A and B are shown apart, each in its own frame.
Chain A
Amino acid sequence: MDGFGKIIFYLQYPFVRYALIVGVLIALCSSLLGVTLVLKRFSFIGDGLSHVAFGAMAVASVLKITNQTALVLPVTVLCAVLLLRTGQNARVKGDAAIAMISVGALAFGYLLMNIWPVSSNISGDVCSTLFGSTSILTLSARDVRICVILSVIVIALFLFFYHRIFDVTFDENFARSAGTHVDRYHLLIAVIIAVIIVLAMNLVGSLLISALVIFPALSAMRIFKSFRSVTVCSAVLSVLSALAGLFLSIAAATPVGSTIVAVDVLVFFVCFLIGRFGLRAG
């Protein structure tokens, strides 16, 4: 059977359709705040949070909690708030705090998984949490529902606060002088990032989440030059890359997460070349 036939064949199965729905939604959500993350130097917070999410996931699996999101989401959101608080006052201290929390969570998570192994295949468990390998294809209907609900919340919040997010990202001081509660919106952005990271763990695993957030935005920024066009373009690129990655991984039997990220990287280079050779749009 050729690759295309294989895809048609697999599409009959609900778990493949679930994976596509979840994949598209996660790709869409993760791309929305990409520009803000890249430009606000929030990207390291995103990276740190993904490690926190890994640690929380390890705790959840050791405790044999069936609904892991119920534990991972609050812990990640809490850490997002904490990291933002420390990052505001002193930049250097903030960076150190993020490194501490993220590496600490990573080590702690791995330690827990080794001391109280939930299955005989520890390295397999760790690998799938870090790289997401096949978890996207083992989603239950409930996982899909949670993902859809969270995605809709993220997208609604983003649309509602779109201009505010632009205001506080572009010029914090001006926004403050105009009476905008900048700290509140930073908090909102951090919480949204945390939600996205928890969502995206299913798709690409905790190590590759940053790629999903950052690459589409960076790609779009090569070609487009206004905030709105960059945002729209990065959402489109992200969704298309996720779909391409999912189909490729089914056809070629490669790990889902890393295939999607590989497509994202490829798209970035294409966009880089387009931007380089002067085909810039408005």
Chain B
Amino acid sequence: MALITCKDLAVGYDGDAVVWGLNFEVRAGDYLCIVGENGSGKSTLMRTLLHLQPPVSGEILLGDGLTAGGIGYLPQQSSIQKDFPASVREIVLSGCQSRKGLRPWYNAAERQLASETMEKLGITKYAKRCFPELSGGQQQRVLLARALCATGKLLLLDEPTAGLDPGVTTQLYSLIEDLNREGITIIMISHDIAAAVRFASHILHIGRTVFFGTREQYEKSGVGRLFLAGTQEQEMPGRPEE
């Protein structure tokens, strides 16, 4: 059984589909990159996978013990408020919110998980620092730690490297690669097609043509070749969607 299976999925807003005919599945340990032009519906698809909005039609099946609240989500940076007074520890701990349920406090196990995750991502030294004062790369690590606290299985990353400088981008990609090797399944939206074909095991290309398959199949496919050739010249790196 796959973690996520999408059957004839159409996503969009208020009943108007932006993308339709999506059939794909994500198995444990996969590294899936979702690519496509601006406005092709990548973020809409991600919001639908997260149950932030209902699908227009078709269905999303969760399997292998994955629950809707058990997905670790790394939103685009722009969705976080600037100047919010929050320490790194508070933010990472908030990744345990679905484990905590209605209990008004975090228990020892959840605090332990937050500490271990911060240690793993090398942000323990910032634990008491204020989030808005950190650099873009450090902030992404904090949000990644929060996402990891929410899941042991699946991470959904929405343009994780948008707005980061090249060195930090490379570090973040290798961090994500390490997590994937440890068995965490990755679904990533990316503008960075070069990175997508370098790291991903599977590619989902959405837009006028929909493609789903392994990286090797994508590189040989018509749509893949076209996109790989085209985007390297046109696409501005790090430009956020919408």
Which residues of A approach B to under 8 Å, CB–CB? 35, 39, 159-164, 166-167, 169-171, 173-180, 220-221, 224-230, 282
Contacts and interface: CB of A to CB of B under 8 A. Distances in A.
B85 A282 contact: no
A163 B100 contact: yes
B104 interface: yes
Contact of A226 (B81, B95, B130): B130
A224 B52 CA distance: 33
Interface string B153-164: 000100000000
B182 to A, nearest CB: 21
Q: Which of A39, A163, A176, A224 has the most CB atoms of chain B within a 10 A radius of its CB?
A: A163
Contacts of A224: 85
A175 B87 contact: no
Interface of B: 50-52, 67-69, 71, 73, 75, 79-81, 83-87, 89-91, 94-95, 97-98, 100, 104-106, 128-130, 133, 146-147, 150, 156
A176 B98 CA distance: 10
A178 B154 CA distance: 12
A171 B50 CA distance: 14
Q: Tell me the dominant secondary structure on chain A's binding face.
A: helix
A163 B98 CA distance: 11
Contacts of B95: 178
A161 B104 contact: yes
Contacts of B97: 163-164, 167, 175, 178, 180
A179 B130 contact: no
A227 B75 contact: no
Contacts of B52: 173, 176-177
Given A167-B94, A227-B86, A173 B69 contact: no
Contact of B85 (A159, A160, A177, A225): A225
B94 A225 contact: no
Given A162-B104, A178-B150, A225-B130, A173 B68 contact: no
A226 B87 contact: yes
A266 B146 CA distance: 38
Contacts of A170: 80-81, 84, 86, 91, 94
Nearest to B158: A173
Given A173-B52, A224-B85, A163 B106 contact: yes
Given A170-B81, A173-B52, 17 more contacts: A163-B106, A166-B94, A170-B80, A170-B94, A171-B79, A173-B75, A173-B79, A174-B75, A176-B50, A176-B52, A178-B69, A178-B150, A179-B68, A220-B85, A221-B85, A226-B128, A227-B84
A170 B88 CA distance: 12
Nearest to A233: B85
Nearest to B67: A179
Contact of B90 (A166, A178, A180): A166
B73 A230 contact: no
9 contacts: A162-B104, A163-B94, A163-B105, A169-B84, A173-B75, A174-B146, A179-B67, A228-B87, A282-B87
A227 B90 contact: yes
A194 to B, nearest CB: 22
Contact of B87 (A171, A176, A220, A227): A227
A159 B104 contact: yes
A158 to B, nearest CB: 10
A160 B100 CA distance: 13
Given A163-B105, A167-B97, A226 B73 contact: no
Contacts of A39: 81, 83-84
A163 B92 CA distance: 12
A160 B97 CA distance: 14
Nearest to A41: B81
Nearest to A230: B85
A229 B85 CA distance: 9
Contacts of B146: 174
A228 B130 CA distance: 12
A219 to B, nearest CB: 12
Most chain B CB neighbours (cut-off 10 Å) among A176, A220, A221, A230:
A176
Nearest to A176: B52
B133 A225 contact: yes
Contacts of B75: 171, 173-174
Contacts of A167: 94, 97
A131 B104 CA distance: 37
Contacts of B129: 225
Nearest to B103: A163
